[in-house]
């Protein structure tokens, strides 16, 4: 993955179509490595989460091209690679496993990120009724050692339809139900990267099972 990180570092400094077109081969090689890594991870995750079996890597990998139509930032390319492995692929709202490759900002994550209102409401309803089960999963010592807190994007007030004095109102204020863990570049480029990531995903699996049940 060193060459992939190298490509992204250069893209950060040369985020324009001329440079990208001149280095298209480097991009294509980097994307192929990303697809290969995604395929390996699909197979490894499928050993404990049958929901991802049979997924195609191309349905999980995010495009590098930015949509700049409504943005003041007109840089045409993202400076990271990402892949979300979940039932139905990245465009579904299913719980899954994400990895992010970006120089100095690599991480992995699991859960559901910024779901649309109906999906979020279903999750909140389920969490409201099964909060103790959720806390038992996320407070398990080995889990807590790797994932201290959920992604901290929350409402300031109780979400609509839930009493503000609900015993677990803090859990219901989240806009995403996702846990993440940063990884150093040297981990991403090491021979043990896949093994480490799969171990982390396996710890996140019970959270995703809970979320699958919330959306069933």
| Residue 152, pLDDT score | 81
At residue 67 the predicted structure's pLDDT band, cuts being 50, 70 and 90, is confident
| Residue 61, pLDDT score | 97
User: H/E/C letters for each residue in the chain?
Assistant: CHHHHHHHHHHHHCCCHHHHHHCHHHHHHHHHHHHHHHHHHHHHHCCCCHHHCCCCHHHCECCCECCCCCCCCCCCECCCEEEEEECCCCCCCCCEEEEEECCCCEEEEEEECCCCHHHHHHHHHHHHHCHHHHHHHHCCHHHHHHCCCECCCECCCCCCCCCCCCCCHHHHCECCEEEEEEECHHHHCCCCHHHHHHHHHHHHHHHHHHHHHHHC
| Residue 93, pLDDT score | 87
User: Given a cut of 90, is residue 192 above it in pLDDT?
Assistant: yes
| Residue 1, pLDDT score | 87
**What structural domains does the chain harbor?**
2-215 (3.30.930)
At residue 74 the predicted structure's pLDDT band, cuts being 50, 70 and 90, is confident
pTM for the whole structure: 0.94
| Residue 27, pLDDT score | 97
List pLDDT tens digits, range 132-157: 999 999 999 999 999 988 988 899 99
């Amino acid at each position: 993955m060193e060459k992939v990180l190298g490509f992204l570092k250069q893209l950060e400094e040369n985020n324009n179509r001329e440079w990208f077109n001149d280095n298209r081969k480097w991009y294509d090689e980097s994307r192929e490595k990303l697809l290969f890594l995604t395929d390996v991870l699909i197979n490894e995750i499928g050993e404990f989460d049958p929901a991802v079996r049979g997924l195609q890597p191309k349905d999980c990998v995010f495009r590098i091209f930015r949509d700049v139509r409504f943005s003041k930032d007109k840089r045409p390319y993202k400076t990271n690679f990402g892949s979300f492995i979940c039932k139905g692929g990245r465009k579904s709202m299913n719980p899954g496993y994400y990895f992010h490759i970006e120089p100095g900002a690599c991480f992995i994550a699991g859960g559901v990120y910024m779901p649309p209102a109906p999906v979020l409401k279903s999750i909140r309803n389920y969490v409201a009724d099964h909060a103790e089960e959720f806390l038992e999963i996320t407070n398990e010592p080995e889990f807590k050692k790797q994932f201290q807190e959920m992604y901290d994007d929350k409402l300031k007030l109780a979400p609509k339809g839930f009493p503000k004095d609900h015993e677990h109102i803090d859990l219901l204020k989240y806009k995403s139900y996702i846990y993440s863990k940063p990884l150093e570049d040297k981990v991403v480029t090491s021979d043990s990267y896949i093994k480490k990531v799969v171990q982390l995903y396996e710890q996140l699996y019970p959270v995703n099972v809970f979320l699958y049940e919330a959306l069933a």
